[in-house]
Amino acid sequence: MTQATTKEVLARTLKQMMETTSLDHITIGKLSAAAHINRNTFYYHFDDIYELLRWTYKQDIVLQLQQYTQIDRWEHAYQLMLDYIADNKAFCQHSLRSVARDLLENFLYSVATDMVARVVVSADPNTPAKISHAITDFYAWAIVMQVIQWLDHDLSESKDDMIKKAEIVLNGTVANAIRNGHAIYGI
């Protein structure tokens, strides 16, 4: 197996195991056995299970969404993120309920930041960096918390309703926040 293939097998095996088992109960030994590799092979590629989880999220979420950088509307990127979570519900829920919760939050934040930054640029391409960062950070964390709550409630709301909730807040209010930022910072 090539290095990339071995990493992919480990990631796929981790996701399969997390369909029924919490991350905190998956050991390197069990994961290696399920992936039909030895423990040393695991440690050749990853330091620990959290590094594998981080790598898996990076491959699944960040790199996959980077191919959609030409998406004109943030709603499409949000839809892709929600689709991923729905398609990998148990994996995401077990990540969220483990000591590695921050890994999922950070990857969601990375995607949400890109989405909100597009809204800021769309509202005013000349927004000063200080204002843009403040707005992007605030709204990105709001989206992350919305998604985490959605996961906590077993995806009980439809994806369309999730997008509409974000739309209520993002459409129009970002332009107003930019104006407020100019007034507050005197820029």
* Per-residue pLDDT tens digits for 113-140: 988 998 899 899 999 999 999 999 999 9
Q: What is the largest CA-CA distance in the chain?
A: 61
Question: Could you tell me the pLDDT band of residue 90, with boundaries at 50, 70 and 90?
Answer: very high
**pLDDT at 172 (0 to 100):** 83
Tell me what the mean pLDDT of segment 82-97 comes to. Answer: 93
| Helix (H/G/I), strand (E/B), else coil: 46 | coil
Residue pLDDT, tens place only, 142-185: 999 999 999 999 999 999 999 999 999 888 899 999 999 999 99
Q: Distance between CA 97 and CA 94 in Å, rounded?
A: 5
Residue 72 has pLDDT above 90, yes or no: no
pTM, entire model: 0.84
Cα gap 169→175, rounded to integer Å: 11
DSSP letter assigned to residue 31: H
Tens of pLDDT, residue by residue over 41-57, are: 999 999 999 999 999 99
Domain ranges for the chain: 50-185
**What CA–CA distance (Å, rounded) separates 61 from 56?**
8
